Amino acid sequence: MSLQLRVSAAPSPAGFLRVACLLLLLVAAPFSFAREYSRGVLAEGTRWENPYYVIESGVDGPVVLITGGMHGNEPAGSRAAEQIVHWKITRGRVVIAPRTNTPGLAANTRFMPGVKEPVNNLNRNFPGTEGPDAARSIPGKALWELARKIEPEWVFDLHEGFDFHIANKGSVGSSVIYLGSPETREVATLLIDEVNSTITDPMRKFVHISGGPVNTGLARACIDRFGSKGFIFETTFNRQPLSLRVRQHRLMVYNALDRLGMVEGGPHVLADRKAAAAARGLPADELVLVALYDAGGTGGSGVLNVTRQLHSLEKVVLCNVGPADIGSGVLAQFDAAIFPGGSGSGIARAIGEEGRGRIQRFVRGGGGYIGICAGGYLAASNYDWSLGLVDAKTITGKHWLRGKGKVKIELTKEGRAIFGDFRGPLDVSFANGPIVSPAGLDRLPDFKPLAVYKTEHAENGSPKGLQVGTPAIIAGRGESGRVISISPHPEATEGLRFFIPRAVEWVAARSPESLARTPAPKKGPPPISRERLGRMPDLTATNPEAGLPLGGKHYGAPVAASNALAWLALERKYDRLLPGGESRFRRQGLLAGKLGGRGYMNTEVNRQTGTPAALNGLSKLLSEKGYSADYSYQGWRRVEKKFRAGWPWPDLDWVKNSLQGDSLVLLNVGWYRYDSGKDVYQRSGGHWVTLAGYGVDGQGKADVATLLIHDSSPRAGKEPAVEYVRIETIESGRLAGNSSMPKGSNSAVGFYRLGDGMHINSERGDVCILDGVVVVSLKNPLEPEK
């Protein structure tokens, strides 16, 4: 017997009858059948749509409701609830809604995105103690409808606090919240004792909060309306990895169910293939169960990036694991394990000798291993802490700190078979990854290069010439298991994030593209773009006819933007952009003056224009004019996440592609003085120019290394003119001189130097570098934005 129930916020009479009949069957059916899994949908057909699961034991017993993800920035409850779906329920019925606030989880925000207060807090949307029996909001109504139909005897709502309640009474983190009674206190004490037995730090231990779950919250509403025993379990996300918090939730829920005689198998079942297949409605052999290490030794955004690339895939069951999980033997439940970036030795210390042995046995027993950067160091054979999964050794010695930046790799024939038929160099992020060669150990399986380095990063005294030609990605097969070790960071690289799903397919012995399709290679930009030449204005900021404040001084960004906006108005029918008037200089001056004004780019106030101000000013102006647009940025400046377009340095193909269509492209250049002895570029100022085209030199000959720009500075001349500027890639060195650069200094590798044809401000520097690029792509010019 398998039932699929769907509950919407406002079901039709016919739909309501179908659900009622199914629930009647669920309640009234004799418990003579084996354990069954079924799946339903809450708020179906809305953006709040989220699944729930019903596990029928076939034996009479309590009805338990478990919920997670009520607050989107508390992922541990959601992930724990997803794992509980895989448990063996031996008595009663368990109903699990793991992602009740799906948009909030996707946005990592506590509240429901786009919903106004006070309704935006999902766990304040349920009937109050003295109010009517009615819920608010689409997801709240759908979840409450489900609760009313099953009338749970026990409710476990899984949450997280920002700090430990034992140390900070302003947070409920690491607590069990319940309404005091002898039975609920007994249960709470049992659960707290169990989880505290795994915690050594007394200031991180769990405590009682017996004042009851919050009024108008789900647990309290179930207590008031159905007489449920309702609990809120709170872990703490401050300074604790997700795997640990999920483990604590599992311990509490398992021991609660065990006390009720409802479960067996232990609290450390994270993934069960048959249960996952039943819950997802997919054949068991199509699923891939993946463990992602997220604890001691990891660093940066590696865990988050891998999670984003795998967790949403229908055929992937992804579970975060930590040292305690590995020590408990959970890897045996998985097809593959991923160890991301951070510190290889740090991960090794965290998991300990026993944990390293379990990983080795997991691979020897047929498990797949993917190591990224630090995980690649861990997979090597030449450290006393490394796993020795393949016959590879690192060759950098004490010079492993080679720096961070962009490098080029090229897939081998074997690599193309796994990652896709991409030929030629690929740009990828690099951050001190392992440089390897064969170790010559007969006891270890040989590796094959899947990609090789075509360029290198060699900073901090690292020897040059060592990295080029060495393997960037390697693969090896042991007695049964498969290993992929990745030195750079494709998971952090725009356009290469499909590498991780494809690697999972290979190490798990699945067919290519069984989990996710490989995107088609990006179409390159047209080789030449010069349609704007002779049509786009080139206003000099200090032109008296423009009438700009401050005589036009400091107005580089507003004027550069006004050049492109005027072109859009005159040539592309965005008529509302350009003010009326007789003089073309004055009309454009009014536009640039408004852009530079208070509340827009704030140039007049600040005597300069930063990148965030440029983006915000353009956004405000275009919105006021009724135009819809997309805004993006590449460069080292700190801007809002919504504006970032991948690389921390400008990608030339992206810049060129951005010039196609109804767009404006602004180049933010920096003036630097170069110290050849230290190989450091010291920044002392900057400027804005407008990109007008590319691909031809001043004589009209094709030249891929030439950009065509309009420069508003009087240094470039007072009359309109196109500047044909040669660019070249910087191969070494560091940038310095601005607090926005990471740690005050950043790798110069991968940035572009603007050379011949660029009018450099010699008072500020002797080198011009392309710091960043702002792109605004406008939409329909004929219809105002609604």
Q: What is the pLDDT of residues 96-141, one digit of tens each?
A: 999 999 999 999 999 999 999 999 999 999 999 988 889 999 999 9
Q: Fill in the DSSP letter of residue 229.
A: E
Read off φ and ψ for residue 452, nearest 5 degrees. Answer: -125, 155
Same domain, yes or no: 709 and 639: yes
Whether residue 192 is contained in a domain is answered as yes
Cα distances (angstroms) measured from residue 667 to each of 112, 561, 577, 589, 703: 37, 10, 21, 20, 19
Closest C-alpha to 509, from 477, 486, 485, 487: 477
Q: Compute the distance between CA of residue 242 and CA of residue 150 in angstroms, rounded to an integer.
A: 31
Q: What is the pLDDT of residues 348-359, one digit of tens each?
A: 999 999 999 999
Whether residue 179 is contained in a domain is answered as yes
Looking up residue 48, the CATH number of its domain turns out to be 3.40.630.10
Please, which pLDDT band fits residue 78 given cuts at 50, 70 and 90?
very high
Whether residue 531 is contained in a domain is answered as no
Same domain, yes or no: 83 and 226: yes
Whether residue 480 is contained in a domain is answered as yes
Task: Show the tokens assigned to 381.
Answer: 């054979």
Q: What is the pLDDT of residues 666-684, one digit of tens each?
A: 999 999 999 998 889 999 9
Whether residue 465 is contained in a domain is answered as yes
Please, which pLDDT band fits residue 620 given cuts at 50, 70 and 90?
very high
- Amino acid sitting at position 23: L
Task: Show the tokens assigned to 742.
Answer: 């990471």
Q: Compute the distance between CA of residue 66 and CA of residue 68 in angstroms, rounded to an integer.
A: 7
Cα distances (angstroms) measured from residue 735 to each of 10, 28, 675: 58, 71, 11
Residues ≥6 apart with Cβ < 8 Å to 104: 69, 71, 72, 73, 110, 111, 112, 113, 122
* pLDDT of the residue at 545: 85
* pLDDT of the residue at 619: 94
* pLDDT of the residue at 17: 35
Strand 734-736 relative to strand 680-696, pairing: parallel
Sign of the Cα pseudo-torsion (4, 9, 14, 16, in order): positive
Same domain, yes or no: 380 and 441: yes
> If residue 290 lies in a helix (H) or strand (E), which one and from where to where?
strand 288-293
Whether residue 740 is predicted with pLDDT greater than 70 in this model: the reply is no
Q: Compute the distance between CA of residue 566 and CA of residue 562 in angstroms, rounded to an integer.
A: 6
Same domain, yes or no: 260 and 292: no
Same domain, yes or no: 76 and 141: yes
**By the 8 A CB rule, do 284 and 301 touch?**
no
Q: How many residues can be counted in the chain?
A: 786
Task: Show the tokens assigned to 334.
Answer: 């998985």
Classified as helix, coil or strand, 202 is helix
- Across 262-271, 456-465, 479-488, 594-603, least confident range: 456-465
**By the 8 A CB rule, do 376 and 386 touch?**
no
Task: Show the tokens assigned to 715.
Answer: 């240094």
Contacts 24+ apart (CB under 8 A), 376-380: 376/344, 376/433, 376/434, 376/436, 376/485, 376/486, 376/487, 377/344, 377/345, 377/434, 378/339, 378/344, 378/347, 378/348, 379/339, 379/483, 379/485, 380/344, 380/434, 380/436, 380/439, 380/485
Domain count, the chain: 3
Same domain, yes or no: 130 and 25: yes
Same domain, yes or no: 456 and 562: no
* pLDDT of the residue at 20: 38
Same domain, yes or no: 157 and 233: yes
Q: Compute the distance between CA of residue 160 and CA of residue 28 in angstroms, rounded to an integer.
A: 36
Per residue, the 3-state secondary structure of 480-529, as one string, reads CCEEEEECCEHHHCCCCCCHHHHHHHHHCCCCCCCCCCCCCCCCCCCCCE
- What's the chain's average pLDDT? 90
Residues ≥6 apart with Cβ < 8 Å to 122: 70, 71, 100, 101, 104, 111, 112, 137, 139, 140
Closest C-alpha to 507, from 289, 271, 277: 289
Task: Show the tokens assigned to 610.
Answer: 């930063």
Read off φ and ψ for residue 96, nearest 5 degrees. Answer: -125, 125
Whether residue 368 is contained in a domain is answered as yes
Read off φ and ψ for residue 550, nearest 5 degrees. Answer: 60, 20
Q: Which domain-ending residue is among 507, 527, 557?
A: 507
| Beta-bridge partners for 436 | 394
Q: Which domain holds residue 368?
A: 287-507
Q: Compute the distance between CA of residue 326 and CA of residue 247 in angstroms, rounded to an integer.
A: 12
Same domain, yes or no: 675 and 745: yes
Q: Which domain-ending residue is among 507, 529, 563?
A: 507
Classified as helix, coil or strand, 407 is strand
Q: What is the pLDDT of residues 296-332, one digit of tens each?
A: 999 988 999 999 999 989 999 999 999 999 999 999 9
* pLDDT of the residue at 237: 93
Mean predicted confidence (pLDDT) in 581-609? 88
If you search the block for the tokens 């702002």, which residue do you land on?
774
Whether residue 404 is contained in a domain is answered as yes
Looking up residue 363, the CATH number of its domain turns out to be 3.40.50.880
Whether residue 396 is predicted with pLDDT greater than 90 in this model: the reply is no
* pLDDT of the residue at 742: 55
CA–chain centroid gap for 309, Å, is 8
Same domain, yes or no: 551 and 685: yes
Core vs surface per residue 432-461: b (16+ CB within 10 A) or e: bbbbbeebeeeebbebebbbbbbbbbbbee
Same domain, yes or no: 638 and 748: yes
Whether residue 232 is contained in a domain is answered as yes
Mean predicted confidence (pLDDT) in 361-368? 96
Same domain, yes or no: 581 and 689: yes
* pLDDT of the residue at 606: 85
* pLDDT of the residue at 781: 61
Task: Show the tokens assigned to 154.
Answer: 């026990």
